[in-house]
A and B are shown apart, each in its own frame.
Chain A
Amino acid sequence: MRDLLAVYQAIQLIEAHLRDGLSVSEMAAAAGYSLYHFIRVFNQVVWHTPYDYLMRRRLRAGGA
């Protein structure tokens, strides 16, 4: 549950920053994890790396 909430917080941050700079370390900080732990948990929940997910969301948002 803790991991799901952490990923949810990171995704909220991504959605709020689709058109400006956002780093994976900032996502990890929003989730309350170290970068190393965050990228593992994010992959586990989302099945994409955080950076890959960010790029996919930006492409989709840009084409909408």
Chain B
Amino acid sequence: MQPTILQKEEILLLGLSFYGDPFDTSNVWSEENQIGLTWQRLMRYLEQHSHAIQHRAAPDVFYEVHIYGDETNTKGLFEVFVGVPVERLEAVPVELLVKVLPATTYAVFTLKGQAILSDWVMKIDQWLMEAGYERSHPYSVQYYDPRFKGLDQIAESTLDLYMPVRKAQA
């Protein structure tokens, strides 16, 4: 896994969240675990409120952000946010949440096919350590665009993973 290192400006997202262990109801890679259910809630909202989000930055791009906190290491609990990018925050619907990803450096890993279902977090952390980087913020980003065809077409799918990084402190 060889990433591209790039600098990104601040990213504004509107979407929905789940907090907990996302596999507490369904443990398989399916649309029935808590992540899949959160995606379903978002897609249903977007279908039913097609004009609610103003200034959407890209109509066919979606983000899944995993946000780690005090209970992540101890209890395996974290936030999963799914959303869409917007150019600016204006008339934000009350049903949606806002996430502002800071301007920062990312290591971007591109996964194809079955690798999407693998333990890529472990591989990323191994690469970071060997390359002299470390995580710079307590989140990671999955970037979905038309190259991702769905879990039922995983062999034909591509997914970009954005890990915020900095050079490891000596």
A interface vs B, CB < 8 Å? 23-25, 33-41, 43-44, 47, 49-52
Contacts and interface: CB of A to CB of B under 8 A. Distances in A.
How many chain B residues sit at the interface, stated as a range, is 20 to 34
Given A23-B73, A51-B77, A39 B122 contact: no
Chain A contact residues: helix, strand, loop or mixed: helix
Contact of A51 (B33, B75, B122): B75
A23 B169 CA distance: 25
Interface in B57-76: 66, 72-76
B33 to A, nearest CB: 8
Given A33-B119, A39-B21, A24 B27 contact: no
B125 A24 contact: no
B24 interface: yes
Contacts of B66: 36
Nearest to A40: B23
Contacts of A51: 21, 74-77
A24 B119 contact: no
A44 B29 CA distance: 10
A-B CB proximity, top 4 nearest: A43-B27, A34-B121, A24-B76, A37-B119
Chain B contact residues: helix, strand, loop or mixed: loop
B91 interface: no
Given A43-B27, A49-B21, A49-B24, A35 B119 contact: no
A62 B125 CA distance: 37
A26 B116 CA distance: 24
A41 to B, nearest CB: 8
Contacts of A52: 21, 24
Which of B73, B74, B119, B125 is packed against the most chain A CB atoms within 10 Å? B119
Nearest to A51: B75
Nearest to B140: A36
Contacts of B28: 44
